[in-house]
Amino acid sequence: MNERNLTLLTDLYQLTMMNGYLKEGKENEVVIFDLFFRQNALITYSLAAGLEQAIDYVLNLKFEDADIEYLRSKNLFGDEFLSYLKNFKFTGDIYSVPEGTIVFPGEPIITVKANIMQAQLIETALLNIVNHQTLIASKAAKVCYSAKGDNVMEFGLRRAQGPDAGIYGARAAIIGGCNSTSNVLAGRMFDIPIAGTHAHSWVMSFPTEYDAFKAYADAYPDATLL
């Protein structure tokens, strides 16, 4: 379960539109949003990922008092809208392809059916969660396909765009077909295999490459990769 409150993980214009819907009496209007990617010359197919985190986000939506006071301080919203947010929760329906499913341009990955206020708020976070993990899972799937059955290890943590990208990127890479990750926290969180050998700094700490490789082989005789 996600311990962080991600309710404000949205674009400001989602909130200003919600405020406008309320003023226009449209708050109970039911809409359908589809999450999909468009056709372009670079993407032939993708591998859907991120559903678990997306649903976790939706189930934990709640505007805390501190959230509402922060929004009040921006002088963009009246009391009617801020009072509405106090009891906000998602009550709509979400349909999705299973994680790991191949999807094509124009094909819905997730469909949200809800009143316009709820659907509007969650659009940004769903895009953020699903786009990133689907990107990594798709790349991993294509790399694993090219590997023709050889093991592929995910090693993206050190260049990921922050801790969350490193953690959930590792998860997505496993969905895409990688057999292990270097990310120890992701291994613990998602019960996926962890793997690794040694870095350049290990080699540099010995007089010669031979000394470094021999020492590593002595330490891990059953898992030596040079």
CA distance 6 to 14: 14
User: Domain containing 169: what range?
Assistant: 12-195
Q: Which of 87, 103, 116, 120 is nearest to 51 (CA)?
A: 103
Q: Spell out the residues 6+ positions from residue 181 whose beta carbon is closer than 8 angstroms to its own.
A: 153, 154, 155, 157, 170, 173, 174, 187, 192, 193, 194, 195
Residue 198 identity? H
Q: What is the pLDDT of residue 2?
A: 45
Nearest 5°: phi and psi at 129? -70, -50
124-157 pLDDT, tens digit per residue, is 999 999 999 999 999 999 999 999 999 999 999 9
Average pLDDT, the chain: 95
Question: What is the residue-wise DSSP string for 154-212?
Answer: E--GGGSSSHHHHHHHHHHHHHTT--EES-HHHHHHHT--B-----HHHHHTSSSHHHH
Q: Is residue 226 part of a domain?
A: no
pTM: 0.88
Domain count, the chain: 1
Q: Is residue 102 part of a domain?
A: yes
96-123 pLDDT, tens digit per residue, is 999 999 999 999 999 999 999 999 999 9
Q: Is residue 216 part of a domain?
A: no
Q: Is residue 72 part of a domain?
A: yes
